[in-house]
Chains A and B, each alone.
Chain A
């Protein structure tokens, strides 16, 4: 075991898979000698060489095409999009191409590609760096979308993502990169995709969340506990596919739920979670399932982040509405 930040756990997972499988290739803008703009690939080119870890020209679409073509030659690409706001440049390669490769070829070809990309607010980035666009990806049949919130989860989920034989979008929240350390095993381990985790047990209310909002929700749960409310917090970890079983079991136990996301109310994945609960557990509900989400505006100018981004106070407020419904 070692104390690792999330970024160190990610590097560790990449190193593990580069060692395990000679077909794993890591590439993107400035991921080579520079070690990545966030140091996620630090030291990897030195250890594995330019054949395995390499820089590309500055063109996201080309990087996506490169990954698809390399996969057609039997490689296992782990490509990076520098910031997920730049995904629009590579939407066709992801949603139009790699997500459909297995299906359109009737299983002849596959895209065992992992797309790593940072996102998320709270660190005053310039425009189009922090947007939460996971909702776009989750609507595309053929991909899986993974969003870890802890160093431990990040390593296990990234190893699983790279080993998955279908495309996985692995979104890394920038605020969580170095915000805390956690015990992470040095040896390899994996966490199954599509499995949520109950991060805190409770009996009065279920909070379903992911990404940076996991920590806001845990903080809110602690505050609510002081007022006598027992709150369960579910970290989805994979937002596509959803772990319906874990969500429904919790809601059936607590009878009340809220869904917390950083994305705008019209975006993200919260609406999908609520629809699933409504279809499967309405008879258990003591109150409607409410959402904590950002306002339906463009991601804020950096100085406005603090008033715009949802935080634990919003979670407490919405939780109370549901508890007192």
Chain B
């Protein structure tokens, strides 16, 4: 009996190694901007490639300006995005307008590029309900603060699309820390059991505030967590826009063809702090690690790739930068001009029909506000 047990455990260890081997990192573009995996190269026109680069540059500027506006007290809650442009924007670039995005708190860029006006994104940051009033036809919900909640909701949105017979997907994002939540597992498992058209992205930037990914789980990859749900899992180089785009495009196609959800882990990095609320990354990250990841910058490699193709230049990039700065200035102005919130506004958006107790409080505040 004893020897049989021993053998079983030895088999289990082997099995673990075998599982991990199945989650090799998908990379198409190396750090020098060279195609190293021609076979996986997604079909993209020159215009599409340029547009993706424009969005990445724009978003890098948006991050720089947001940090600065936050420091001036002109923005509130802000979670820096620099470093994650490939992961965030190439994934969104693979979507169609009818796809529904359930973002986490760091995923503001995706919903902006899906149609949320910039000034509303700034109102979200400041804490104003008008920031979350998503325009008609823009299929996104405001950034989710409860880590994991967006995953179970995505399973529901995807099932809804399947029931409606739509050819669209629900896509949601969390971080490496978020993959430890119960809702992370329930979300992917529900979508799997219902064969729902969902794309679950884990942006593994190696740190959940100060906690390194190694302290989240003994699993060697997060992509392999898909196995627990019985769905495909893919690990991609999250600093490589082409690999991210290709993986999401594939997952989307599988999903709209009725083959169910996919889990995609993007290996990425945030150059800035966790949020602007006093987090200091020098407490838990070495400058060596920062330098190592700065070499992987998605903008650097994509710029090299496009320049070699002759479809990108400094002038084009500068135009994008100027455009971004102008847009941001205008958006902040528009946000400034938004009327201040009143308590009666907040009461009006609680229920379709105000219950008596709220009606009573409404009258009291109406009176206060009229003075």
User: A166 contacts B156, CB within 8 Å?
Assistant: no
Residues of B near A74 (CB, < 8 A) are 160, 164
Whole-angstrom CA separation of A107 from B345 in the bound complex: 11
Given contacts A75-B163, A244-B356, A245-B356, is CB(A104)–CB(B155) below 8 Å?
A: no
- Give B343 Cβ to nearest chain A Cβ, in Å: 12
User: B130 contacts A65, CB within 8 Å?
Assistant: no
Closest to A60 in B: B186
Instruction: Specify which of B129, B149, B186, B346 is in contact with A96 (CB 8 Å cutoff).
Output: B149
- Per DSSP, chain B at the interface is helix
Query: Which B residues, 88 to 144, have Cβ-Cβ distances below 8 Å to chain A?
Result: 100, 129-130, 132-134, 141-142
Closest to A77 in B: B156
Given contacts A61-B186, A62-B186, A106-B349, is CB(A51)–CB(B163) below 8 Å?
A: yes
Given contacts A65-B153, A105-B142, A109-B141, is CB(A73)–CB(B160) below 8 Å?
A: yes
User: A73 contacts B157, CB within 8 Å?
Assistant: yes
Closest to B189 in A: A57
Instruction: Specify which of B129, B152, B164 is in contact with A65 (CB 8 Å cutoff).
Output: B152
Given contacts A69-B153, A244-B356, is CB(A105)–CB(B141) below 8 Å?
A: yes
Interface residues on A, range: 35 or more
Residues of B near A295 (CB, < 8 A) are none
- Give B316 Cβ to nearest chain A Cβ, in Å: 36
- Give B130 Cβ to nearest chain A Cβ, in Å: 6
Whole-angstrom CA separation of A74 from B160 in the bound complex: 8
Interface string of A45-76 (1 = CB under 8 A from B): 00000010000110101101111111111110
B10 touches A (CB below 8 Å) = no
Closest to B359 in A: A241
Whole-angstrom CA separation of A70 from B156 in the bound complex: 5
Residues of B near A75 (CB, < 8 A) are 160, 163
- Give B141 Cβ to nearest chain A Cβ, in Å: 7
Residues of B near A242 (CB, < 8 A) are 357
Residues of B near A65 (CB, < 8 A) are 149, 151-156, 183, 186-187, 190
B352 touches A (CB below 8 Å) = yes
- Give A73 Cβ to nearest chain B Cβ, in Å: 3
Residue numbers of A with Cβ under 8 A of B are 51, 56-57, 59, 61-62, 64-75, 92-93, 96-97, 102-110, 141-142, 144, 164-166, 194, 241-245
